[in-house]
Amino acid sequence: MKNIICFGEVLWDVFPEHKKIGGAPLNVAIRLQSLGNKVAIISRVGNDEDGNEIIDFIQQNKVNSMLVQEDAVLETGKVKVTLDPTGSASYDIKFPTAWDNIQLTDKAKTALQTTDAFVFGSLASRDITSRNTLYELLKLAPYKIFDVNLRKPHYSADVLNHLMCEADFIKFNDEELLEIAQNYEVNIETLEECVQFIAQKTNTKSICVTKGSKGAMLYFNNEFYNNPGYKIKVVDTVGAGDSFLASLIDQLLKDTHPQRALDFACAVGALVASREGANPKLKEQTIENLINS
């Protein structure tokens, strides 16, 4: 069992017919907890019914909610989610909301001193208060995992570069990786070259790139590992990348062989995409069956 803290947005994903609790850091936290880790989340909700429901949901999923703050002014976050015919999602993210105002607390700083890993994303850095809190917490974290999550217009090249240079492990999707590489104005032809360039530029030893239905690539201890993806029928992609990252982190922190860790993570991500919502419950045997299929 590893002790892991996730930082960032908790919110409601509002679909055309319904709404569900989400936010990438929370999705990662719930999946990590379901895999047998001890997980807490640092975030902020409004003093409203939506916020109370999120706190209840976090607790029901056995994630520690003691580091989730309550804002007296800003309301709980909401995101309007639109799915295209293939199940791919696009997002309209309300600004500002409570998670833009995460405060630096002694309780959070103390919690980081006993953690094995600290997971954070780029979206929670879109406004200065939460960004400054994250920057301070990164000075204390022992092992830092950066989940790049580009949502226009909520990021800048300078902030992304700072977060990448702070990270020990970075996860991109292929489009994000290419976009960020272009910011450096270098001529790179392959994903492998792109990964090696970012690793050298930011002094990051481990990088993972997801490629949608084509699987994922992992750069770990100067070696590349690949998984071509698993054939599934996509229902919606919301949370699939979050569960992928959580599963990969879980396996690598347990010293699982990198190829096996990548295969496991790809299987979990595929299974989440084959079901509705970001946090479907998955049985270990179902995961193994897909890996062996």
List, for residues 79-103, the tens digit of each pLDDT value: 998 878 876 778 899 999 999 999 9
Q: Among the listed ranges 22-26, 126-130, 172-176, 182-186, which one has the minimum average pLDDT value?
A: 182-186
Q: Which of 125, 273, 262 has its CA nearest to residue 212? A: 273
CATH architecture of the domain with range 3-291: 3-Layer(aba) Sandwich (3.40)
Q: Is 80 helix (H, G, I), strand (E, B) or coil?
A: strand
- 186 has pLDDT over 80: no
CB 21 within 8 A of CB 53: yes
Give the integer Cα–Cα distance in Å for 189 and 209: 15
DSSP assignment letter at 214:
G
- 39 has pLDDT over 90: yes
Instruction: Return phi, psi of residue 181, to 5°.
Output: -60, -35
pLDDT-based confidence at residue 67 (cuts at 50, 70, 90): very high
pLDDT-based confidence at residue 238 (cuts at 50, 70, 90): confident
224: β partners: 219
Kindly calculate the radius of gyration of the chain based on its CA atoms and give it in whole angstroms. 18
Give the integer Cα–Cα distance in Å for 158 and 154: 12
CA distances from 117 to 3, 107, 137, 249 (A): 7, 17, 12, 9
Q: Which of 241, 282, 285, 247 has its CA nearest to residue 264? A: 247
Percent of all residues in the chain with a pLDDT value above 70, rounded to a whole number: 100
- 162 has pLDDT over 90: yes
**What amino acid occupies position 97?**
T
pLDDT-based confidence at residue 127 (cuts at 50, 70, 90): very high
Q: Among the listed ranges 21-30, 41-50, 78-87, 108-117, which one has the minimum average pLDDT value?
A: 78-87
Residue 15: predicted pLDDT: 83
Q: Which of 6, 238, 37, 236 has its CA nearest to residue 99? A: 6
